[in-house]
Amino acid sequence: MRKRVLGKSGLEVSELGLGCMGMSFGYGPPKDSREMLGLIRKAVEDGVTFFDTAEVYGPFTNETLVGEALEPVRKDVVIATKFGFRFDQETGKPAGLNSRPEHIREVADASLRRLRTDVIDLFYQHRVDPAVPIEDVAGAVGDLIRAGKVRHFGLSEAGVQTIRRAHKVQPVAALQSEYSLWWREPEADILPALEELGIGFVPFSPLGKGYLTGKIDEHTSFDSTDFRNTVPRFSVEARKGNRAVVALLEHVARRRAATAAQIALAWVLAQRPWLVPIPGTTRVERLGENLGATEVVLSKEDLLEISDAVAGIQVEGARYSEAAQRMIDR
């Protein structure tokens, strides 16, 4: 698989990464750990070198899974994880944000143990904490970098001004935020700022949380623990109303002898050379399909047709619940 470098950081990774969240959290019950270990190792065999996890996924169990899966090949892969939440001591569930420097140091040590490694390649602040100046956060991660526990600093779902302030204190290697054909907001301000500053971009949900694969419609039912039940964009009405986006992808896919998912990923890959999507999956066949997107080359005409068509489609539904939206930094 070809490699890409995230901005000016020098951090080189496979041009498609693997988001591991859904293996343990978010999309229904946790999947069988043996199967997920096999899936992660299959991704390594197929050339993936970039793996994304976080302490909150599980919580904690996803880091443990990723650590076990990648320990035998640790020197050949890049592991990204995240800090920034606090947890209820009784339930163990997320209970708000916490990016105090002392807490960041505690999370780093705990993540290192779960990941079975002596260094975290990319350490993201998972969500901007309005109670803690971003300069303090960047300084704390900078201390961890100087201590040899972390290699690179990242931000997730941060706004332009927050990115700029953090970058002055400790260079930001990458921003992770949602980006896909049905969520193009980063194009307005985020992508130009990242290009100016030399920061890489790691789009999560490049397949629209599964919707852009064409496998989800108004008749699809989700497990009661699937967070998409709380997302307005996944209401029955929105799923029905947003089929125009999928129809467009399927139209181009037929012409390119590809799948809708591969066209959606190829479109994201074509946007910037310093951008690395991290689609997630829990199925080996879907992993193969996603990786096949790296061989789909969209022409200028294809890209123009897709962009023009999507610009004329009104996507229905907010991408997050109101509670989750309040955690997004502007």
- DSSP secondary structure, 257-313, as one string: T--HHHHHHHHHHTT-TTB----B-S-HHHHHHHHHGGG----HHHHHHHHHHHHT-
For residue 322, count other CB atoms closer than 10 A to its CB.
9
Query: Known catalytic residues?
Result: 57
Q: Can you spell out the DSSP letters for 203-222?
A: EE-TTGGGGGGT---TT---
The first and second tokens of residue 173, run together, are 């290697």
Give the chain's domains with CATH numbers: 3-325 (3.20.20.100)
Query: Which amino acid type is present at position 61?
Result: T
**How many residues are given for the chain?**
330
Helix or strand run (H / E) with residue 161: helix 160-169
Q: How many Å is the Cα radius of gyration of the chain?
A: 19
> What is the per-residue pLDDT for 329?
84
Backbone angles phi, psi at 115, to 5 degrees: -85, -5
DSSP state of 273: T
- Residue 11, classed as helix, strand or coil, is coil
Tell the residue number behind the tokens 């002055």, with chain if given: 168
Whether the Cβ atoms of residue 226 and residue 28 lie closer than 8 Å to each other: yes
> What is the per-residue pLDDT for 254?
97
Distance CA 306, CA 181 (A): 9
> What is the per-residue pLDDT for 236?
97
For residue 102, count other CB atoms closer than 10 A to its CB.
9
Distance CA 6, CA 120 (A): 16
The first and second tokens of residue 94, run together, are 């997320």
Own/partner contacts of 139-145, CB < 8 Å, gap of 24 or more, are 139/101, 139/169, 139/170, 140/101, 140/104, 140/105, 141/104, 141/170, 142/169, 142/170, 143/101, 143/105, 144/104, 144/105, 144/108, 145/170
Q: What is the 3-state secondary structure (H, E, C) of 129-153?
A: CCCCCHHHHHHHHHHHHHCCCEEEE
Backbone angles phi, psi at 208, to 5 degrees: 60, 45
pTM, full prediction: 0.98
Bridging pattern class, strands 12-14 and 3-5: antiparallel
Q: Label residue 101 exposed, middle or buried (CB < 10 Å: 0-12, 13-18, 19+).
A: middle
Per-residue pLDDT of the chain (330 residues; tens, 9 = 90+): 999 999 999 999 999 999 999 999 999 999 999 999 999 999 999 999 999 999 999 999 999 999 999 999 999 999 999 999 999 989 999 999 999 999 999 999 999 999 999 999 999 999 999 999 999 999 999 999 999 999 999 999 999 999 999 999 999 999 999 999 999 999 999 999 999 999 999 999 999 999 999 999 999 999 999 999 999 999 999 999 999 999 999 999 999 999 999 999 999 999 999 999 999 999 999 999 999 999 999 999 999 999 999 999 999 999 999 989 998 987
Query: Which amino acid type is present at position 178?
Result: E
Bridging pattern class, strands 94-97 and 120-125: unpaired
